[in-house]
Amino acid sequence: MHKKALFLLALMIGGHAVWAVQPQAILQSLKGKVEVKALGATIWTPAAEGQVLAQSATLSTGFDSSVVVVIDKTTIQVKPLTRMTIDKLAAEGDTVKTSTFLRVGNISASVKSAEGVKQDFKVQSPFSTASVRGTEFDYDGLSLEVKEGLVAFILGRLQRDAENTPAEDFVGSPEVQGDPDKSVPVAGGQDAKIVVTFSGEDPTTQSSTDKDSLQKDSGLPTGTGNKPTGPAAPTKGSVTLTITLP
């Protein structure tokens, strides 16, 4: 009865699915330190099993912590040391449109469609966007591993679907605008990586700062200085992003 009360309901009219209620993102399988911050809030609050995640809310996981976000048959496994925001979750005709923003960390997504219902699902980061309509993949903003189906991998920033997007979400990331019409198809069994090359001053990344913050909250050692632990993105100088495939 719990699932029936919380999950999506669809009425079949003329062969098309019409959603009776708006889709919901429900938190399940919480492990360790999982917190939520509403849009405009200044404090994080502990997440709860079965909690419905509000649109524009941000999830945060600590060390050895994780949570699964369930949207009908679609699941997003949010891994340790990750911050992810639900930018958009809406039913439009026979399509459920989900847009998330991965500020730092790693997720695994399994995007599945119910009978008569299409999925339009994307994950954005400061570096790229992964856009799918039914597949399974791992993604951290700079690398993409497709397990099943097909993912459109787009370099650079796209316009986010969220309202009142916090400016700090892109601080320190490369100012490279993405083009949704120029994507690289990555098929099941393929891995793709973004190579960041730059010229100019020493780079710093907002993502590395966020990761240091999450590690500190979890009692883990953080990086030293402003050096990022992963691929660097310059705040000054020029930057080039390229996608490599095996």
Q: Where along the chain do its domains lie?
A: 2-190
Tokens of 23: 């889709």
Lowest mean pLDDT among 59-68, 131-140, 222-231: 222-231
Q: Is the pLDDT of residue 157 over 60?
A: yes
Model pLDDT for residues 127-143, shown as the tens digit of each residue:
899 998 778 999 998 89
125 Cα distance to chain centroid: 7
Model pLDDT for residues 199-221, shown as the tens digit of each residue:
655 444 445 556 666 767 766 66
Lowest mean pLDDT among 7-11, 57-61, 76-80: 7-11
Sign of CA dihedral 59, 121, 64, 24: positive
Angle 44-48-51 (CA atoms, 0-180°, nearest 5)? 100
Model pLDDT for residues 94-132, shown as the tens digit of each residue:
888 999 999 999 999 999 877 777 888 999 998 899 998
- Stated pTM of the model: 0.75
Strand order in the sheet with 107-111: 52-53, 25-31, 66-71, 74-78, 107-111, 135-139, 143-148, 191-199, 238-244
Give CA separation, 164 vs 82, 101, 161, 204, in Å: 21, 13, 10, 25
187 Cα distance to chain centroid: 19
CATH 2.60.120.1440 assigned to domain 2-190? The reply is yes
Residue 209: the pLDDT is 59
Tokens of 71: 């949207």
Residue 198: the pLDDT is 65
Residue 194: the pLDDT is 86
Highest-confidence range of 5-9, 160-164, 209-213, by mean pLDDT?
160-164
Strands of the chain, DSSP E: 10-13, 16-19, 25-31, 34-37, 45-46, 52-53, 58-61, 66-71, 74-78, 83-92, 95-104, 107-111, 118-124, 128-132, 135-139, 143-148, 150-155, 184-187, 191-199, 238-244
Angle 44-45-47 (CA atoms, 0-180°, nearest 5)? 125
